[in-house]
Structures are given as C-alpha cells and as structure tokens.
Amino acid sequence: MGELDPQLTYSINREGSFQLAKIAKQAGVPRFVFSGSCSVYGKGEKLDLCENDALNPMTAYAESKIDSETLISGLADDVFSPVYMRNATAFGFSKMLRVDLVVNNLLASALSYNEIRIMSDGTPWRPLIHCRDIARAAIAFAEAPRDNIHDRAINVGSNSSNYQVRDVGDEVQRLIPSADIVYSGENGPDPRDYRVRFDLLQQQIPTFQLQYDLRSGGEELFHRMRDRGFSAADFESDRFVRLRHLRKNLRRLTSPAREVA
C-alpha cells in the first residue's frame, strides 16, 4: 500500500510521526508509545529474529517505521520516554474490518469464492497477532516501568504465533472444509519472510500475555463475517481493502470536477 505513493508514505508515517512526538514532548507527555511493525525485518537473513538482528525493509512502509524509530529516539531524555512497538502482522475482527491482511484475506477469499487463494508458494513466515492484543499491548507499554522499556524497540507477539502462509491456509480450510486451497503464484515468490522471537517482551513486561492465537482469533473472525453475510461483492469492493480505498480517494481528489469546483 505504501508503494502507491512512497513520498506520501514517508510524509505521513515518518515526518508525521516525528512531528507528533515533538509536540508530545513539548506538551510534557512523559511516555510516547510508537506503533511500528515486524515488517522492518523484511527478508530475514535468518529465522527467529530478535530486536538486535539486522533490519532488511522491503517496502516504503517498513523503511518509514525504521526511520521513525531513529528520529524519535533522538528526543529521548530524562523527561521524555519513547518506546517502539514492533507489532506482528495484525488479524482479526474489528469494526474497521480489513481483508488485505493475510489471515483476514484468506478467510474472506474462502467465504467469497469457496477457494483459499494463496498468491505465493505459501512458504514465507509471518508472526501474527490479533488486533485487540495490539491494543492491549499499547496500554501495557504505556503503563510499564520506565526502566523496562525506555527508548527500546520491542517485538510484540508470541513465539508460538509464527506461521507460514500455508499454515494459515490450512487453518482456514479447517473452518471451511469445502474450500479448496489454490496456490495461484500470481505474485511470484514473496520476498518478505520473517520468523520473529518475542522473548524481550516477556522479559520486560512479564504480565502481558496474548489473549488470542490463530485458532481462537480465526474462529471469531469466521463467525462474525459469516453471520454478517460477507460475500464476493464485499471482497471485491473498496470498503474493506485499504489500497482500493486510497486509490478511490486519490481519484476523487484529482478529478477534473473537483478542480473546476
């Protein structure tokens, strides 16, 4: 999604985040929780990546998150304590449902077409985390003792929640047995491939535990989407896919009718 307009991505995700941090510091905010991403590891040089391992971003989005960590770190001092959440890949049901995330996407595909359409060969690794657990983690980071988290990047997820994309497909098929798994290969080999360790999170905030795993979160998502009659029309619309929604808004902003108005 960030590649649609990389400069816009940097402007919002990097400059915007840094500006917000500066304003927060000026306002006397003592704790600044930055929501980052495990996508900063990109194509990992090895498996089981931890916070000290090399970063290998593959997208403008991931690069913007790395740059933001670096810029915001420059503001850290005795009165301003930032911390950087490197979140695993989000999934799960929410009021702002998205179907362009791997778990949500494969389940939406199964509900829409009775096919679980995997666009790669299914081998890349992804750490997963339910969107509600990300929200709970943000609260835990805001309340954690300063010495435990000050100016640190911390992976947010669970060691038991690393999956290959084909594992996600298998779980979706468990929920919808009639759906066939189809490896379309239309995207070719996925260069993003990272399995991540979350030991530091447990060391620094030991009271925090995930409430969802792929099975429980997937079951909830399946029942909520099925009960609402999610269909191919929904899957193909711009309502639940952020990239399509952005493209629609950009077309609206640049339309001749708007320029005349």
Superfamily designation of domain 2-238: NAD(P)-binding Rossmann-like Domain (3.40.50.720)
Q: So where are the chain's domains?
A: 2-238
Residue 5 pLDDT class (50, 70, 90 cuts): confident
Look at residue 190 in the predicted model and tell me its pLDDT: 59
pTM across the whole model: 0.90
- Asked if residue 260 has pLDDT above 50, the reply is no
Residue 255 pLDDT class (50, 70, 90 cuts): confident
Cα torsion 110, 114, 118, 121 to 10°: value is 140
Q: What are the tens digits of pLDDT across the range 153-169?
A: 999 999 999 999 999 99
Look at residue 20 in the predicted model and tell me its pLDDT: 98
Q: What are the tens digits of pLDDT across the range 61-81?
A: 999 999 999 999 999 999 999
- Asked if residue 178 has pLDDT above 50, the reply is yes
Q: What are the tens digits of pLDDT across the range 11-65?
A: 999 999 999 999 999 999 999 999 999 999 998 888 899 999 999 999 999 999 9
Which tokens hold the place of 218?
Answer: 């997937």
Cα torsion 11, 16, 18, 24 to 10°: value is 170
Look at residue 243 in the predicted model and tell me its pLDDT: 77
- Asked if residue 219 has pLDDT above 90, the reply is yes
Q: What residues contact residue 168 under an 8 Å CB cut-off, 6+ apart?
A: 102, 103, 106, 126, 128, 214
CA dist 110 and 108 (Å) reads 5
